Amino acid sequence: MATQAEQPSLPTVAKRSRGGWRPGRQNEAYLFLLPSLLGFLLFIVIPVLGSLALSLMRWNLLTPPQFIGLNNYIEIFTRDPLFIQAFGNTLFYAVTIVPLQLVAGLTVALALNQGIRGVKFYRLIYFMPVVSSVVAAALIFQWMFNRDFGIVSAVFWWLGDVTGLPIAPPDWLNSSAWAKPAVVLLTVWKNMGFTMVIYLAGLQSVPEELYDAAKVDGASPWQQLLNITLPMVSPTTFFLLIIQMIGAFQLFSEPFVMTRGTGGPAGATMSIVMYIYQAAFKYSQMGKASASAWVLFAFIFACTLVQNWLQRRWVHYETGEG
C-alpha cells in the first residue's frame, strides 16, 4: 500500500498534463489531415465552384466558354419544356417512392422484430436487393414488365383466362401512364431492405417496459403502435425521410436502365439527373447542365430545411428513461 507521500498530488499531475501540450503541435494534426483536405479540395470544392461558374456560361466543349449570366437558368425554366417535365417526374418519384419505402420498410421491420423461427434468414432475404447490382435488378424488372412475355403481364393474361373478363396488361414501359409506376416499384423493391434494417435498429431500442405498461392498461396492439412504437421511432423516421427524399430527387440508374437511356416514352420517366446527364454528355450543353444541377441542389436544400423545421412538431427524442 503506497503511502501518502508516494502519491503525486493533483496539482502536480495537472501541471504535467499542461506541460506536455504545446500549441505548436497543432501543425502535426494539420499535417495528418492534409491528404484528406487535399482530396476534399480537389474533388469536391473545386468541381462544385467550377460547376457554379459553368452555370453562368455557354460551353459545348469545343469552343471557349462564353459568359452569359443567368441565361441558362432563364432558358431551362422558360424555353425548355423537357426540364419542366423532368422536374415534374422527379417530384412524382419523391412523393411516391419515399412514403412507400417508409411504410413497407416499417411493416417488414415490425414483422421481423418478433421472435419467430428463422428470423435472421428472413432479414437476409429482404436485405439482399440492397447489395445487388442496380443494373441487374433493372434489367430483370425490364423483362418482368414486358407486355408480351413478362411475368407481370402473364398474371394479367391468366386472370383474364380464369375469370373470362377482358383483362389485358398495359404496355408498361411503352406507356406514359404506367412507365413511372414500374420505375417506382423497382426502386422501392431495391431499397426497402435498407429501410427495414434502420427501422429494426430503432425498434430494438424501444424499452420493453413501455409495452408492458400499455398491456397492463389494456392497450390494443394498434394503440401500442400509434402511441408507443411510432413516437419512439420518429427520429429514425426523420433520418430515413431526409436521406430517401434526397435519393429520390437524385434518381438516375433505375429509369436510365429500364428505358435504355432514353427516359421515355416521350420523356415520361426522365428525372432531373437524367436530364443533366443528357444535357452534358449527349448535347454538350455544359452550362445548361450545371445550371440544372444547381437548381436541383437549391430545391433539395430548401426541402431539407423545411423538413428540419417541421420535425420539431412530430419527432420525439425521449428515450423513455425516467
Sketch the domain layout of the chain as residue ranges. Answer: 87-314
CA distance 140 to 10: 69
Which phi and psi (to 5°) does residue 66 adopt? -120, 125
* pLDDT for the residue 322: 38
Distance of CA 81 to the CA centre of its chain: 26
* pLDDT for the residue 110: 94
Which phi and psi (to 5°) does residue 29 adopt? -65, -45
* pLDDT for the residue 16: 47
* pLDDT for the residue 1: 45
143 contacts 173 by C-beta, under 8 angstroms: no
* pLDDT for the residue 118: 86
CA distance 80 to 52: 20
Which stretches of the chain score pLDDT less than 70? 1-25, 318-322
CA distance 184 to 173: 12
Which homologous superfamily does the CATH classification assign to the domain defined by 87-314? Answer: MetI-like (1.10.3720.10)
316 contacts 229 by C-beta, under 8 angstroms: no
CA distance 54 to 288: 8
CA distance 160 to 49: 58
Side-chain-facing half-sphere of 283: CA atoms under 13 Å:
12
223 contacts 214 by C-beta, under 8 angstroms: yes
Which residue from 274, 281, 285, 283 is spatially nearest to 75, judged by alpha carbons? 285
* pLDDT for the residue 20: 54
* pLDDT for the residue 148: 84
* pLDDT for the residue 223: 93
* pLDDT for the residue 162: 83
